[in-house]
Amino acid sequence: MFSTNNTYYFLLATIFSVLTFVLPSEGQLSATFYSTTCSNVSTIVRNSVQQALTSDSRIAASLTRLHFHDCFVDGCDGSILLDVGGNITQSEKTAAPNANSVRGFDVVDSIKSSLESSCPGVVSCADILALAAESSVSLSGGPSWTVLLGRRDSLTANQAGANTSIPSPFESLANITSKFSAVGLDTTDLVALSGAHTFGRAQCQFFSQRLFNFSGTGSPDPTLNSTYLATLQQNCPQNGSGSTLNNLDPSTPDTFDNNYFTNLLINMGLLQTDQELFSTNGSSTISIVNNFANNQSAFFETFAQSMINMGNISPLTGTQGEIRTDCKKVNGS
């Protein structure tokens, strides 16, 4: 039998263990993570992105893509920013999905420099990517959302992981879906996040396989609008430069809106993986595309939630990793 005192302490211990199990752990991300250590972090990031946009209309899409390509490789840990040096023998920057393609590193460095002046050693590079993506979308006419913070920066890069985990523009919808599923994102996240192709550019090399000899047929991709096809063939002639840039959304190339989805309805998705969302027979993605094409508010609301979901992929928290002072290299290297 328990004495009264023993019973009391037993109950306290039981309550504490239950609370420990159900309450968020200290390591989880939080909207107020920097409220006492760097309260103006969001303003500093937003002002830097706004400044960059005055001279580079592409930068909003580029910064959003950086966050995406970071999160899909070992989680949102800033590993995409690391250059070769010290213990980093291979950089994710030179992986196939990123080489001569991802950009915006100079803006990230500029943001980091401003933050180091205001609150040195406090804000991680991984969190800068998450904040810069939100600023980029909202400043381009898209939704705002509350960015959860508290990620720490990796000590390693994973080039092999970047080569295998980041969705490629040449893949089937089934492959892309499984890559999203592998990081805990579902079909709705897949369609919503693909909607980030409502702004930005793509090089010819990422879709030229659709223009002349699709899947070895000797003919263009039949799901490509014929008028749009003629324009793209002119921009990307056979044996032409694979690096020529094309607007992902030909209607409003620098505005974040739902035109990406209305384009899919008329077979004007630029990448194979864009058009597949609507043109894959029997796919559950079709009804989601239709919904977003007809209801921009629904797209914006879902996109914001999906960005939060993506930002939650395997962050380093607590004492894991570090807060880099220079986003390009591990501290002390």
CA–CA distance, 290 with 330 (Å, rounded to integer): 45
The residue type at 210: R
Whole-number average pLDDT of the chain: 93
The reply to whether 67 sits in an annotated binding site is no
Confidence of residue 27 (pLDDT cuts 50, 70, 90): low
- Domain assignment present for 227: no
The reply to whether 75 sits in an annotated binding site is yes
Contact 240, 204 (CB under 8 A): yes
Joined tokens for residue 93: 């920057």
Q: What is the pLDDT of residues 250-263, one digit of tens each?
A: 999 999 999 999 99
pLDDT at 35 over 70: yes
Average pLDDT over residues 13-28: 45
Confidence of residue 11 (pLDDT cuts 50, 70, 90): very low
Contact 200, 62 (CB under 8 A): yes
pLDDT at 24 over 60: no
Task: Please give the sequence-ordered ranges of beta strands (E in DSSP) within the chain, or none if there are none.
Answer: 201-203, 245-247
The number of domains in the chain is 1
Contacts of residue 211, defined as CB under 8 A and 6 or more positions apart, other chains included, come to 220, 221, 224, 229, 232, 233, 236, 238
- Please give the biggest Cα pair distance in the chain: 87
- Domain assignment present for 26: no
Q: What angle do CA 196, 80, 242 make, to 5 degrees?
A: 60
- Domain assignment present for 19: no
Q: What is the pLDDT of residues 152-170, one digit of tens each?
A: 999 999 999 999 999 999 9
Q: Token match 């977003």: residue? A: 292
pLDDT at 13 over 90: no
Which sequence positions are flagged as catalytic?
69
Q: What angle do CA 91, 63, 61 make, to 5 degrees?
A: 125
Q: What percent of the chain has pLDDT over 70?
A: 92
The lowest-confidence range among 15-24, 179-188, 201-210 is: 15-24
Angle, in degrees to the nearest 10, between helices 41-53 and 125-139: 60
- Domain containing 278 equals 38-199+247-310
pLDDT at 16 over 60: no
Q: What is the pLDDT of residues 58-75, one digit of tens each?
A: 999 999 999 999 999 999
CATH number of residue 279's parent domain: 1.10.520.10
Other residues' Cβ atoms within 10 Å of the Cβ of residue 95? 24
- Reduced DSSP (H G I as helix, E B as strand, rest coil) percent helix, strand, coil of the chain, to 5: 50, 5, 45
- Domain assignment present for 233: no
The reply to whether 252 sits in an annotated binding site is yes
| Bridge partners of residue 316, in order along the sequence | 152
Q: What is the pLDDT of residues 79-101, one digit of tens each?
A: 999 999 999 999 999 999 999 99
Q: What percent of the chain has pLDDT over 90?
A: 91
Contact 267, 164 (CB under 8 A): no
Nearest alpha-carbon partner for 37 in 157, 174, 150: 150
The reply to whether 322 sits in an annotated binding site is no
Residue 28 or residue 278, greater confidence: 278
pLDDT at 25 over 80: no
The reply to whether 144 sits in an annotated binding site is no
Sign of the dihedral defined by the CA atoms of residues 75, 80, 85, 89, in that order: positive
Average pLDDT over residues 192-199: 98
CA–CA distance, 32 with 38 (Å, rounded to integer): 10
- Domain assignment present for 187: yes
The reply to whether 249 sits in an annotated binding site is yes
CA–CA distance, 77 with 73 (Å, rounded to integer): 9
Question: Tell me, what's the pLDDT at 71?
Answer: 98
- Domain assignment present for 193: yes
Task: Flag whether the pTM goes above 0.95.
Answer: no
- Domain assignment present for 69: yes
